[in-house]
Each structure stands twice: as structure tokens, then as C-alpha cells.
Amino acid sequence: MELYTLIPAEATGLIERLCIIAHCGAQGHRGQQAMIAHLERLFAIDHLRKVVARFTNSCLLHSKGGKIIPRPWGELIDCRQRNGALHFDFLYMGPSYGPSNYLLALKNHATHYWELVVADSAESPVVVEALLAWHARFGIPPKWISDQGTHFKNEVMAELSRRLRTQQSFTPAYSPWVNGSIERINRDILQVIRAMILEYKVSYKDWVYLVPLVQANLNHTAVPSLGNHSPLELFTGLERSTPLKGYVADLRESIQSMHCAVENQKMKQRLLNKKKDRGENVVNFTVGDYVLRSRVDEKRGNKLQVMWIGPYRVIRADTHSFRVEHLVTDEELDVPASGLKFYSDDNLDVTDELLEHISSQGIVLAVDRLKEHKWNSVINDFEFLGLQHIGDSYEPMTDLAKEIRLLLNNYVASVGDQ
């Protein structure tokens, strides 16, 4: 019989720390269901779903917009046998500091167990090696499902399927939703890597080093579709790990000493919901508040960057838009209310950590001057204008030549270094 630790509703500080452990860091900001699965395993918390929803709504790295529209079609593949069917697909991740640009994702149909393979290109030899490695560890699944890309539908794959005596199935062309089992997890992979890039403060080109963490996160997280079990439990029979288990003993000793008041905002939320039902554009912020801005209308960007950036400070309210100020560059923008989302009131504590987070969101900055150089994979050290001395950085010459070619040519001419 498992023992659960009762967390009183008044201990909001303790509950918040538990939410941080279950949501941040290596947990990849997976979402509400993943957090609930971790917390329910060890703790009894009143109104846990509301607590988790409130926490995720305040998380900058978890902010996203739009509605979830479920597909009306049912499953086309019915396989309840472990290792009975294997889905696989390539996911383009963008450039890295090496030759790698792709991820090959392999998913067991019945248990949702995942393996991710870093690849330089989307070619059939990568798929063959990954399938043989899967075969060496778990045995070969009798059924393969993929799209009709040339890296999957070719003579090499057909010969491998014949020799291993498997059935290779293909989804219709230009119909990715038919193979939704693999397409859905591609979205999860991008979401987790986006969050980890900002969490660990690394470059977007360092995504290769985060792949093992992402694979562990996907396989160790319990999901409702598996009866609140993790893919690792169902596929290998091993017990899934939880980041909270090591903290339980210490938390039980101090649980009674942590109490504070809980604010109730049900009436405010009810009024906002009524406005949404009437189709009104809900504006729940005013001048002086801090908001997040959507970047969906920007032409340039990276698929690994978050969609809501900021926070910005609201400095003026116009008839159909708001004037907001960037906290790092002091740039002012006119943004319609539909492109803004409330984050905090005017009591927000703007710390150095918050400013560093804002500066790592892919904003376009001016270059003051090039200071020095070295012969390496990264070449020029330059200082950013408008930042509050967050730090200089070395950047590859190929990247600088695209953005500041004139400044780079002047620097090379002045140095005269061959």
C-alpha cells in the first residue's frame, strides 16, 4: 500500500516548490497532465488540477495560444501487442554546431515508447541503422508505418523488410494527420526542446545535446491514454522515475510549518468567461501592467523559439491598440489587443534574471563594434547595443557575414590579419 503525504491548501509556498520540481528543468515543461501524474504519485493536494492549471498559466516557457481542435477520425491501426507495430518519421530541427539537422523518431504503437536518433540528413541508411539497433535491443516489430518519403519507400528499405519478414505500410501522400501518432509526438519534441533551450540558457544550435533529456522525458512521463502509466513501464516493465521522490523525506518534516493565505478570483474569471462567450475581445490589462506579445506575425524566426515573448510594459492605451515598451532595448511597439496577453500587474519585480531571459528570446539587436577575433568555429566577439551589459559573445563568421557584412568587412580591413 502506497503512502501519500497530505499537503494542506494553506501551504502555497510548498505547493509552488513541488510544482517547480515537477514542471521545470529536465521535466521539459510538458504540461498539466504530466505534472498531475508526478504529483499524484506521492502527494494528496486539494484541487490539484486547479493548482497545476494556475501554475502552468504563469510559466513564461509554457505560454502558447490557439485552440486545440481534435481530429474527427478514429485510429486506422489497431495493435495492442507490445513491440507489435513501429512508427517512424524524420523531423527537421534546423542547423546545429555540427552537421546534424534531423531527428529520426521511432515510436512503438501500443506502449508509446520512444527512441530519438540524431541524423545529418534524411536518408535511408540512417533508418536502416536505427531499425537494426532497435532489433538488437527489443526484437523487430512485425509492422512498420511511415509516410511515403524517398528515405522510407525505396529498394533498400524493401529489401530489409523482406529479409526481416516484416510488413511495411505507408500513409497516403500529403496526409500527415493519418499518421497522427508520430506527428503528435513531433509537436511534443519541439515544445520540450524550446523550453529546455531557455531553461538551460543554451544556443538554439545546441539542440543535439538536449535529445537524451527529451527522450528520457517522453518515456518516463505518465500519460492518461496509457492509464496514467509511462511508456517505459509498459514497454520494459521498469519503474518510472519521478523528480519528487528524493525530496519527500525532507518535505514531510517541514510540511506543518508552511502556511499562507490563498486568494480567490472566481468572480473575475467568471466575468472574463462571459465576455469571451459574447465574442468580445477581452482586455484584462491596463497602462503600467506587464504583458506577453505574440510573434506569430513575424516573417523571420526559428521553429525552436517560443511564440509568446516578453514581458513588455504597457505605456499607452489607444483606441484599437496598445503601446508597449521592451524592457531590455526600450523599443516601443504598437500592438493590437489580440496580440497581447496579461502577465503581471505593475508590481512585477524586474530582476536581472528576468532581463536575461528576455534577451535570450531571439530578439534582433544592433552591433556596436567588433572587438577581437580568433581562429575557431566561432570567430568574432562583439558587444550588443541596448543591453544592460548582459555579456559579449563569440559568433561564427558565416552568421555575421549575413547580418553585418559591411561592419565585418571594415573590421577585417582594419585588422589586416590573414
- Structural domain 85-220, CATH architecture: 2-Layer Sandwich (3.30)
Residues 267 and 274 sit within 8 Å (Cβ to Cβ) = no
Contacts of 288 (CB under 8 A, 6+ apart): 313, 314, 345, 346
Fold match between 85-220 and 279-359?
Answer: no
The 10s digit of each residue's pLDDT in 324-367 is 998 888 888 888 887 888 898 888 888 888 888 887 776 655 66
The alpha helices in 200-229, defined as continuous H runs, are 211-220
Where do the structural domains in the chain lie, given as residue ranges?
5-67+236-257, 85-220, 279-359, 367-415
Percent of the chain at pLDDT > 70 equals: 70
The 10s digit of each residue's pLDDT in 28-70 is 676 777 777 777 777 878 888 888 888 887 777 666 655 665 5
Angle, CA of 186, 192 and 193, to the nearest 5°? 90
pTM of the model: 0.54
The secondary structure element, H or E, covering residue 91 is strand 85-92
**What class has domain 279-359?**
mainly beta
Burial status of residue 312 (CB atoms within 10 A of its CB: 0-12, 13-18, 19 or more): buried
Report the first-to-last Cα separation within the chain, whole angstroms. 72
